[in-house]
Amino acid sequence: MKRAISARNCVCLPLLLGLMVFLAACQSADLRRDTPFWAEDVGDPAARFELAKRTQPELIAFLRRLPKGADLHNHLSGASYGEYVVASALEQGLNYDPARRRFTDRPAGQDGVITGEQLLRDSALLAAYHDVSSMRGWYPAVANGHDHFFASFDHLRSGDRGKAEMLAEVVARNAWQNVTYLELMTSPYPKSVRKAIGAALERFDPGDLEGAWAQVASVLDDPAHAAATAAYLDRIESGADRILRDKHDLRLLGDAPDVVVRYLPQLLRKLSLDRFFVDAVAAMMAIRDEPRVVALNMVQPEDATRSRERFADQMRILDFLSGKLGNPPISLHAGELVLRESPVEPMRDRISRSVTQGQARRIGHGISIAWEDDVVGTLETLRRREVLVEICLSSNEGILGVKGDAHPFMLYRRAGVPVSINTDDEAISRSNLTMEFVLAASRYDLRYADLLELARNSLEYAFMPGDGLYVERDYARLRPGFAKVRDSQWTPSAEARAAMQSDLKLRLQVRLEREIVAFERSLANGFRTTP
Ligand SMILES: [Zn+2]
Q: First-to-last CA distance in the chain? A: 65
**Strand 102-104 to 388-391 pairing:** unpaired
Neighbours of 176 (CB within 10 A): 17
**What spacing in Å lies between the alpha carbon of 72 and ligand 1's midpoint?**
10
Written as one string, the DSSP assignment of 499-529 is HHHT-HHHHHHHHHHHHHHHHHHHHHTT--S
Burial (Cβ within 10 Å: 0-12, 13-18, ≥19) of residue 258: exposed
Rounded distance between C-alpha atoms, residue 271 and residue 317, angstroms: 14
Cα 531 to ligand 1 centroid, rounded to whole Å: 39
pLDDT of residue 249: 65
Alpha carbon of 34 to ligand 1 centroid (Å)? 40
Q: What is the mean pLDDT of residues 44-52?
A: 97
- In angstroms, the Cα distances linking 360 to 39, 324, 390 are 46, 16, 12
What is the CA(267)–ligand 1 centre distance, in A?
Answer: 12
Q: How far is the CA of 301 from the centre of ligand 1 (A)?
A: 9
Task: Give dist(CA 207, CA 205) in Å, integer.
Answer: 5
Q: Beta-carbon neighbour count of residue 203 at 10 Å?
A: 9
Cβ-Cβ contacts under 8 Å for 328 (sequence gap 6 or more): 283, 284, 287, 288, 295, 296, 322
Q: Classify 75 as helix, strand or coil.
A: strand
d(CA 354, CA 125): 43
pLDDT at 247: 73
Distance 75 CA to ligand 1 centre (A): 6
Average pLDDT over every residue of 77-98: 95
Using the predicted structure, report yes or no on whether residue 435 has a pLDDT greater than 80: yes
pLDDT band for position 242 (50/70/90)? confident
pLDDT band, residue 34 (cuts 50/70/90): confident
Does residue 277 register a pLDDT over 50?
A: yes
The CA 207 to ligand 1 mean position distance, Å, reads 30
Q: Can you tell me the mean pLDDT for 174-192?
A: 96
Calpha distance 111→346 (Å, rounded) = 44
Given this model, what pLDDT does residue 122 score? 97
> Is the whole-model pTM more than 0.85?
yes
Q: What is the structure's pLDDT at 3?
A: 44
Q: Each residue of 461-472: pLDDT tens digit?
A: 999 999 999 999
Query: Does the pLDDT at position 82 exceed 60?
Result: yes
Phi, psi (5° rounding) for residue 378?
-65, -45
Q: What ranges make up the beta strands (E) of 400-466?
A: 419-421
**Mean pLDDT on 142-169:** 92
Do 286 and 319 meet the contact criterion of CB atoms below 8 Å apart?
no
Cα 424 to ligand 1 centre (Å): 5
Residue 299 Cα, ligand 1 centroid: separation in angstroms?
7
pLDDT of 4 above 50: no
Per cent of the chain over pLDDT 70 is 92
- Average pLDDT score over residue span 65-82: 97
**pLDDT digits 0-9 by tens, 186-228:** 999 999 999 999 999 999 999 999 999 999 999 998 999 999 9
Ligand 1: centre distance to CA 73 (Å): 6
Output the average pLDDT for the chain.
93
Q: pLDDT value at position 22?
A: 57
> Can you tell me the mean pLDDT for 510-527?
97
Ligand 1 centroid from CA 419, angstroms: 15
Q: Name 388's bridge partners.
A: 362
Residue 74 CA, ligand 1 centroid: distance in Å: 7
CATH number given to 69-75+162-464? 3.20.20.140
- Sheet with 362-365, strands from edge to edge, namely 331-334, 362-365, 388-391, 419-421
Q: What is the pLDDT of residue 334?
A: 98
Say if residue 120's pLDDT is above 80.
yes
What is the whole-number distance in angstroms between the Cα of residue 432 and the centre of ligand 1?
A: 14
Give the mean pLDDT of 410-438: 98
Confidence of residue 258 (pLDDT cuts 50, 70, 90): confident
Tell me how far the alpha carbon of residue 425 lies from the centroid of ligand 1, in angstroms.
7
Tell me how far the alpha carbon of residue 57 lies from the centroid of ligand 1, in angstroms.
Answer: 27
Instruction: Check residue 16 and give its pLDDT.
Output: 64
Q: Are strands 474-478 and 470-471 parallel, antiparallel or unpaired?
A: antiparallel
Report which secondary-structure segment, H or E, holds 244.
helix 223-246
The DSSP element (H or E) to which 282 belongs, if any, is helix 273-289
Give the Å distance between the CA of 496 and the centre of ligand 1. 37
pLDDT at 165 over 60: yes
Q: What is the DSSP string of 345-383?
A: GGGGTHHHHHHHTT--SEEEE-GGGGGSTTHHHHHHHHH
User: What is the model's pLDDT at position 140?
Assistant: 83
Which is more confident, 10 or 323?
Answer: 323
Dihedral sign for Cα 77, 154, 391, 327, please: negative
Give the residue-averaged pLDDT of 319-333: 97
* pLDDT for position 7: 45
| 3-class SS of residue 36 | coil
Task: Give the tens place of pLDDT for each residue, 6-15.
Answer: 445 555 566 6
DSSP 107: P
Ligand 1 center to residue 336 CA distance, Å? 9
Arithmetic mean of pLDDT, 500-514: 97
pLDDT, position 143: 85
Least confident range from 8-22, 68-82, 401-415: namely 8-22
* Residue 110 in this model has a pLDDT that exceeds 70: yes
CA quadruple 372, 376, 379, 384: dihedral positive or negative? negative
**Mean pLDDT across the stretch 441-447?**
98
